[in-house]
Structure 1
Amino acid sequence: MKYARIVYNGSVHHAIEENGTLKLNDGRVVNEKEVQWLPPIEPGTVFTLGLNYEDHAKELSFSAPKEPLVFLKGPNTFTGHRSQTYRPSDVTFMHYECELAVIIGDAAKNVKKEEAYNYVAGYTVANDYVIRDYIENYYRPNLRAKNRDACTPLGPWFVEAKDIEDPMNLTLRTYVNGEVTQEGTTADMLLGVPELIEYLSGFMTLNKGDVILTGTPRGSVDTKVGDEVVTEIEGIGRLVNTIVGEEVSAK
């Protein structure tokens, strides 16, 4: 089943997908274009993986890291489906990153990879935009590169773990203005979901609602103001976002 969080008539509702519509928790059925989409969960601590696909590391002229390259993201970075993300006028390269987002379901400490899926509540789609101009290098990214307001659309759906047979064998695609610009598979992650949970829980407790953004494959291209960017993961969802400029973001 697919779950969403939305704003309808000024109130926040939980909803499920039903035959291409949204069924609210009070029983009403609405069209998805009648609502404002929120991230499908309220994120706790969010861990972002850098260079977790070897082809993406090569694309950026980096060697794959010997140890997971992990950043943290603040709550203001997240926005929902059909939202807008701001591109500053002075930057030269701002690209999307289609990523499988893993939502933790129970407190996890010192979890072995063989037991890791027991701690996963479900999955959603993330588009973790990054401004390349703000990166000194991928081991020392400027805070502005990953923690700007509304720079990471999340959603549309939260999909329960039991409904995804193999999270390590899902196709990821990105479309810019309807054209496929990125395609890969979660099978190519350097560290998969179980290994990432084992690694992170080995030195800190992962709590219910924490999120792991697992990295992106090769194919990141520059996006411009006005572009519609769709990040899609097989079986999980199709997340739509639009790039806007200063004249919109200042309103």
Structure 2
Amino acid sequence: MKLVRFGAAGAEKPGLIDGDGDLRDLSNHIADIAGETLSPEGLAALAALNASSLPRIAEKQRLGPCVAGTGKFICIGLNYSDHAREAGLPVPTEPIVFMKATSAICGPDDDLVIPRGSTKTDWEVELGIVIGKTAKHVSKEDALEHVAGYCVLHDVSERAFQNERQGQWTKGKSCDTFGPTGPWLVTREEVADPQNLSMWLKVNGETMQSGSTRTMVFGVAELVSYLSDFMSLHPGDIISTGTPPGVGMGLSPQRYLKAGDVVELGIEGLGQQRQLCISSS
């Protein structure tokens, strides 16, 4: 299934994309794409519905973040071997973990706001994991049973805030609109191999990133298992799994986003995003 949330920011309704690509309204069946809806039982109940019997939404709608109720937005740094080389850093021997504020989450096509004082706002296409069942000390072999599905994530980063100010990376990762999520949550059974997905990102029509989840250092199952040893993972939690090479910081000369730029990005089978960069008011 492809699950979506549509409507005005803060008032999204749950929906799904049917086999013909039409948007169908799920609000008569569930309150939101969150909590128990993401459990194996909740997803099975949605899969049992006759999609053609659900109300069809004909008019164009804003798509919101594809999951609600996210308690933790966990990111993995330098998780692509070719990106680590691009950054001039060693390939990690253990996942590099940092947090992104949940207030950064926004819709896949919402405007990307360049924050006040920014000089180095950068792009990063990433595979997102959405947790569906609580995970604590789970094995790598059982880890995928705790995954509801996958989505496209844009881990926008302000490199000066991240690397040139004291403290951890979080403040360079957490500005408002720095976490476009979606367009939809593709449930786990529809993704045959999350470690074999092509991914790309363009700025003003120019391809900047072109990679594959094949080059991830730590794969989906390993990340879920690893993180569950340090914290419980709950339904709706998001794991952003790292980016392939081609970020602005890695170019020579370096290149960063400015107001008026258009960023487009996508992952095979998971859809695509488009953001217009605007200045902070």
TM over 0.5: yes
Per the alignment, do residues 50 and 3 of structure 1 end up closer, same or farther by CA in structure 2, a change over 3 Å counting?
Answer: same
Aligned to 1:45: 72
Q: 1:87 to 1:191 in 2, by over 3 A?
A: same
Could you tell me whether the CA contact under 8 Å between 2:84 and 2:90 is conserved in 1? yes
- One-letter amino acid of the structure 2 residue matched with residue 180 of structure 1: T
User: Hey, what does 1:153 align to over in structure 2?
Assistant: 180
2:32 is matched with which residue? Answer: none
Instruction: Tell me what 1:15 maps to.
Output: 15
**2-side partners of 1:14 and 1:148: how far apart?**
26
Structure 1: how far apart are the matches of 2:165 and 2:268? 28
Give runs of aligned pairs for residues 25-104 of structure 1, distance below 5 A: 25=26, 27-31=54-58, 34-42=60-68, 43-88=70-115, 90-104=117-131
Which blocks of at least 5 consecutive residues in structure 2 are unaligned? 29-53, 249-255
1:24 is displaced (CA, Å) by 1.7
* 1:236-247 pair list within 5 angstroms: 236-246=270-280
CA distance in 2, matches of 1:15, 1:28: 10
Query: Residue 105 of structure 1 aligns with which residue?
Result: 132
- Per-residue CA deviations over 1:21-47 (Å, capped at 9, x if unaligned) read 322226443357x32221110122111
Among all aligned residue pairs of Structure 1 and Structure 2, give the percentage whose two residues are the same amino acid.
36
- 1:138-217 correspondence runs (5 A): 141-217=168-244
Q: Which residue in 2 is equivalent to 1:124? A: 151
Supply the distance in 2 between the matched residues of 1:10 and 1:60 (Cα, whole angstroms): 37
Cα offsets for 1:62-100 (capped at 9, x unmatched): 112222111112221100021011113643321111010
Per-residue CA shift, 1:152-191, capped at 9, x if unaligned? 1000001000000000100011122222210111010000
Measure, in 2, the Cα distance between the counterparts of 1:154 and 1:78: 7
2:49 aligned partner: none
**Partner Cα separation in structure 2 for residue 149 and residue 90 of structure 1:** 14
Q: Please, what TM-score do these two structures have when normalized by structure 2?
A: 0.81
The 2-side partners of 1:238 and 1:168 are apart by: 18
- Name whichever of 65-74 and 160-169 sits farther off: 65-74
AA paired with 2:65? P
- Given residue 22 of structure 1, which amino acid in structure 2 is its aligned partner? L
Alpha-carbon distance between aligned partners in 2 of 1:31 and 1:81, rounded to the nearest angstrom: 20
The TM-score with structure 1 as length reference comes to: 0.90
Q: 1:227 aligns with which of 254, 261, 265?
A: 261
The answer to whether the aligner puts 1:218 opposite 2:219 as a matched pair is no
**Larger % of strand: which?**
1
- Could you say what the CA RMSD is over the residues aligned between the two structures, in angstroms? 2.2
Aligned length: 246
Q: Distance in 2 between matches of 1:201 and 1:234?
A: 27
SS of equivalent residue, structure 2 residue 275: strand
